[in-house]
Structure 1
């Protein structure tokens, strides 16, 4: 079979690239060795959010009296939570199957790899192989849980994110190594349903990519909820031979041994670039990433790469945007290169975290003179009514031109609010334009307008 485009991998980069290629009139196929939708839909973004929702419902029950509601007998059915999560993921994967049929995209089941110029080999589960040709081949093979030599995963007691979603029973105790989005989301989930959770973070702040004020605020809230957080600490070794894992942790004050039923390694991802024919094809890589230009073309004619295996943030929405840009360039359009400094990042614990652009520290280091405005949700009428007064919105502006350099939010539902700032930055809006854009009352989003006003000395409600 000959195609215009073959995409290897059907995650949020691959399937989106395939659909856009089909929309542009290109005969398209996608290769997938497991389930359509890739890690994000099946073992990442979507099923974790389903688990987090279950935790939030349980928390509502536990705090129902705060809202004048009496509830008795609420308890965690862990197996049912996992079952619901898997059902949500399966439904989303079936949705991608429908989109493939709707857009007349051939799904080639098996492991895809480059085999000579313009050729893809697909190896099925039974070991049989089939060759396909295409003018353009897009690699979208994604990533997997990163393993450290001192935290070897056995997938039973020492696990990655995938096993954390389908544990056979709720653990009594868990140590989470790493406090990025994955680590903090699982720490929040398991703590919420009654697991004793300790988070070990090598750096000085949790969610270390976030603005330091956000990190400190979230840390304080999570500690208050019962999570033990050790920052500036390193896991030296894990002994999983007994009933409990013994984890040797080096802290600022010395080394201590912690015990837990489960150790979750959440120290980032490794790229899936092994065995896909890169070396044979001569595709250049560096430090586990495929080297590409602004439109995701590799050094080899007709071969492209997107998503976790290239430069930029390893996020689903980044991969989707890259896939669209890549395909539109292939089709002869003139897309804009992606601005990696205007990518929103979100963490879906409670309270949520959302950000885009420069942190205050990074903006200062870049040489900007700043105007910074911060509005706490404790002063928000909607937040008070919702019982969600923790957190704030913080906006950072260039004092000279009014450019929005960054936005940092921690609070209820802030992952739904950050897109306003992403759009405003894309349109090169200024602080005063946000202030003069009337925001509905009462809403959490008013805090964006108020934070901008606070930066310019015009805040009404502080």
Structure 2
């Protein structure tokens, strides 16, 4: 006889496990099904362990430049195995934390491969048996996986996806990064700071193409200054193992195809949603290029079937998945949550320097027909940034000139992934320039640049 629940969640990433906790808080009997490790890709193979690696490379960079702070650090080096081990331990600690949260919130954890067999029914294949479940509602939170090049599958030896790049057994000497989105730029930044010779290939005209054009231009100069070779408007026509490395056929802007050999290549060209073989086709769940179509509450076209996170499409971010999970569960429980507003989801890139943004770019706002007021303030005008030795970067704000609505905010520089939340809160509260101008920012802090950028949009900047 099948076990019966109010809700069964397929996938335990930042969407699934957060949804499970909220469902339990609302009094629902909930089970979560996971085929690998609690916490999903983000916690185990994405957001968290990569940030541990990037923290290591950041400290290594500071050690190599200790003299600029009046310090001495001789014979600086690193142990790659220990660097990777620290990253894995960080992920392991959080995995254990999620297990504790499931137990605390009385969520039934089911290990195995889940398949939706009918509306309200789900089977889980385990090593020695298949377990059946019935649920009033099912949330699909199966996430996504790295996209392979059609002509070169990742082999884990010289051609890597992000998973391979997080647990290297050897340090690349000459690294090719294919794709300049957040993942590609983060890995390029890490390996460059650790001493690799790094080249980024991007088919679009600029790196970090979803960011504001001024941010992309700044990052182009910053990464080039650090020694990273950037090839934009450039295609990849071939990639194959060659001896102890890999040979790439790179088509440059002028149409010329050049062969170049690298020790390793990281493929960072996007993701593929995990929607195959979980029973969605038989139920008639609508998809768009593999991603499940949902409304603002996470509902699919099939009653009782919901979907959240990467499996539903862009932006492919952990915090978007978590928020979608909360909204869906509160709707399932009979509440009246707000619908998902993707315009208020911040994006962060944890490279050196960091990039963060929310809302519309200046170009998108102009395309939408807005009359704009734009403010921009440089890190070099901020006392805290200078004291930190991090005086490169800027904060940019985009306002509707007619209403004072904050349409977007874009940052590049030290710790901007922490600063961006101030503007996210402002947008959520529908704050205008008037409230932001009248807000007191502590001194000396990096956040003062946020204030100055707002003031600058209206010709009132004090320190620039």
TM range (shorter): over 0.9
Counterpart in 1 of 2:150? 149
CA distance in 2, matches of 1:219, 1:341: 25
Q: CA deviation at 1:381?
A: 0.3
1:60-139 → structure 2 map (5 Å cutoff):
60-124=62-126, 126=127, 128-139=129-140
Structure 2 counterpart of 1:30, from 20, 29, 32: 32
Question: CA RMSD, aligned part only?
Answer: 0.9
- Kept in 1, the 8 Å contact 2:293–2:312? The answer is yes
CA distance in 1, matches of 2:462, 2:287: 53
- Kept in 2, the 8 Å contact 1:18–1:29? The answer is yes
Counterpart in 1 of 2:177? 176
Q: Secondary structure at the match of 1:115?
A: strand
Q: CA deviation at 1:383?
A: 0.3
- Kept in 1, the 8 Å contact 2:152–2:240? The answer is no
Counterpart in 1 of 2:411? 409
CA distance in 2, matches of 1:117, 1:446: 53
CA distance in 2, matches of 1:295, 1:398: 28
Q: TM-score, normalised by structure 1?
A: 0.99
Q: What is the count of residue pairs matched by the alignment?
A: 461
Q: CA deviation at 1:299?
A: 1.5
Q: Secondary structure at the match of 1:371?
A: strand
- Kept in 2, the 8 Å contact 1:432–1:452? The answer is no
Q: Secondary structure at the match of 1:256?
A: strand
Q: CA deviation at 1:152?
A: 2.1
Counterpart in 2 of 1:460? 462
Q: Secondary structure at the match of 1:152?
A: coil
Counterpart in 2 of 1:42? 44
CA distance in 2, matches of 1:207, 1:362: 15
Counterpart in 2 of 1:201? 202
CA distance in 2, matches of 1:190, 1:225: 12
- Kept in 1, the 8 Å contact 2:119–2:305? The answer is no
1:233 aligns with 2:230: no
Structure 2 counterpart of 1:268, from 247, 267, 270: 270
Structure 1 counterpart of 2:348, from 346, 349, 355: 346
1:362 aligns with 2:374: no
> 1:274-302 CA deviation, whole Å, 9 max, x = no partner?
11001122212121111112211112111
- Kept in 2, the 8 Å contact 1:151–1:265? The answer is no
Counterpart in 2 of 1:15? 17
Counterpart in 2 of 1:187? 188
Task: Return 50-59 or 287-296, whichever deviates more.
Answer: 287-296
Q: CA deviation at 1:127?
A: 5.3
CA distance in 2, matches of 1:196, 1:23: 50
> 1:160-199 CA deviation, whole Å, 9 max, x = no partner?
0000001111111110000000000000000000111100
Task: Return 152-161 or 378-387, whichever deviates more.
Answer: 152-161
CA distance in 1, matches of 2:303, 2:220: 48
Q: TM-score, normalised by structure 2?
A: 0.98
> 1:88-145 CA deviation, whole Å, 9 max, x = no partner?
0000000000000000001000011101231111111x25211111111000000000
Q: Secondary structure at the match of 1:378?
A: helix
CA distance in 2, matches of 1:61, 1:75: 9
Q: Secondary structure at the match of 2:195?
A: coil
- Kept in 1, the 8 Å contact 2:180–2:201? The answer is yes
- Kept in 1, the 8 Å contact 2:207–2:220? The answer is yes
Q: Secondary structure at the match of 1:137?
A: strand
Structure 1 counterpart of 2:399, from 389, 397, 403: 397
CA distance in 1, matches of 2:201, 2:88: 28
CA distance in 1, matches of 2:253, 2:411: 30
Unaligned runs of 5+ in 1: none
CA distance in 2, matches of 1:12, 1:211: 27
Counterpart in 2 of 1:449? 451
Counterpart in 1 of 2:161? 160
CA distance in 1, matches of 2:342, 2:62: 37
Task: Return 386-395 or 307-316, whichever deviates more.
Answer: 307-316
Q: Secondary structure at the match of 1:210?
A: coil
Unaligned runs of 5+ in 2: none
Q: CA deviation at 1:316?
A: 0.2
CA distance in 1, matches of 2:300, 2:128: 29
Q: Secondary structure at the match of 2:424?
A: helix
CA distance in 2, matches of 1:151, 1:391: 37
Structure 1 segments (4+ residues) deviating >4 Å: none
Counterpart in 2 of 1:291? 293
